[in-house]
Amino acid sequence: MKIKRYLLATCFVCLLSAGAARAASEGSGAPTIIPHKTNPNEDALTAGSTGVMSPPITYHGGLVMGTPTVYLIWYGNWNQGNGSDTSGGQAIIRDFIYGLNNSSYYQINASYGTATGMVNRSSAEYVDHYSQGSRLTDTAVQTVVRNAIASGKLGPPDVNGVYFVLTSSDVSERSGFCTKYCGWHTASTIAGTNIKYAFVGNANRCLSACAAQTVGPNGNAGVDGMVSVIAHELEESNTDPDPVSGWADSRGAENGDKCAWTFGANPQGPANAQYNMTLPAISGGSRNYLVQRNLDVNSKCYVDYATKQQ
């Protein structure tokens, strides 16, 4: 995600327009990363507004994805009882991606024209048990994605895919997870293909920074917190897959950035376990989630695009 902020590293690879994020590399060939700021986000533009967010989002002539396919890469130990897979963390995330498809929430992205509001979830997944250790760098995250694709377990490299590296809560990301950001997205040439990928850390590591609540609607505060960050990174990868050549404002903020850490006026449920949307689950029934609002092409933040609920 690409809100503005500075990442500390050995070398800056990109300077976005005034006020936008400086992305940093931690080694030769590292990608430009676009981060999702921690909570509270002191740089949120006019977050919480029900009017037009300023400056408005505009199109910069680059690629916008139609229907992305989400690939899940589970990094670390998702079967440990440290908040990663407690209360079925993996199932919560799988259900969320499934439920997003053609939802009234994700239809916000359809307002950008070639984005459809549809999301595919690949049934093929990849598990990586600490191949790069428990303290990742940005380039190590890229290596995890490279290895996952090279394994063949996710199928051939997918130019229409978004590859999510999702970490268990004992894993840190050295460029600023929990202190500067909760996740990020980028694009890089991998296996001769323009691959879009994202890092989302387990919010159980730092609930006050990367989760809006301490319980969550599914009883797994860390993973319930991750869900909102996943939505943020996916919608930005959809509308601005090659940062920042697609949709962004004059400061470099993407659609998810401009509504970050705002959840609409009427969340339901008990304190610390509230939700603002209910989506179908893979095995039937439904799940509740608390997910940040998203920005439409007219620079307004919504929870539900069918009802225009802000």
For residues 12 and 17, the model is more confident at: 17
Predicted pLDDT of residue 41: 62
Higher confidence at residue 75 or residue 30? 75
- pLDDT for 3 beyond 50: no
> In this structure, what are the phi and psi dihedrals at residue 15, rounded to the nearest 5 degrees?
-120, 115
Compute the mean pLDDT over every residue in the chain, rounded to the nearest whole number: 86
- Residues in a beta bridge with 185: 34, 198
The pairing of beta strand 135-136 with beta strand 172-173: parallel
* C-beta neighbour count of 163 within 10 angstroms: 28
In this prediction, residues 94-103 reach a mean pLDDT of: 97
Give pLDDT, residue 83: 45
Q: pLDDT at position 15, please?
A: 21
Q: Answer yes or no: is pLDDT of 151 > 60.
A: yes
Q: Is the pLDDT of residue 108 over 50?
A: yes
Q: Is 19 exposed, middle or buried (0-12, 13-18, 19+ CB in 10 A)?
A: middle
pLDDT at 28 over 60: no
Q: What's the CA dihedral at 8, 12, 14, 17 to 10 degrees?
A: 60
Which helix (H) or strand (E) segment holds residue 25: the answer is strand 22-25
- H or E element in which residue 126 lies: strand 120-128
The percent helix, strand, coil of the chain (3-state, each to 5) is 20, 25, 55
pLDDT of 233 above 80: yes
pLDDT at residue 114, as a whole number: 73
* Residue 23, C-beta contacts closer than 8 angstroms, at least 6 positions apart: 7, 12, 13, 14, 16, 32, 33, 34, 35, 186, 243
pTM for the full predicted model = 0.89
- The answer for residues whose C-beta is within 8 angstroms of residue 155's C-beta and 6 or more apart is 122, 124
Output the pLDDT for position 80. Answer: 65
Domains and CATH numbers, the chain: 63-240+263-302 (3.40.390)
Mean pLDDT score, 31-43: 69
Q: What is the mean pLDDT of residues 190-197?
A: 97
Token pair recorded at residue 265: 């006026």
Per-residue confidence (pLDDT) for residue 37, from 0 to 100: 79
Most confidently modeled range among 4-18, 20-34, 240-254: 240-254
Whether 6 contacts 43, CB under 8 Å: no
Q: What is the pLDDT of residues 63-98, one digit of tens each?
A: 999 999 999 999 999 986 544 555 589 999 999 999
pLDDT at 14 over 50: no
pLDDT band, residue 35 (cuts 50/70/90): confident
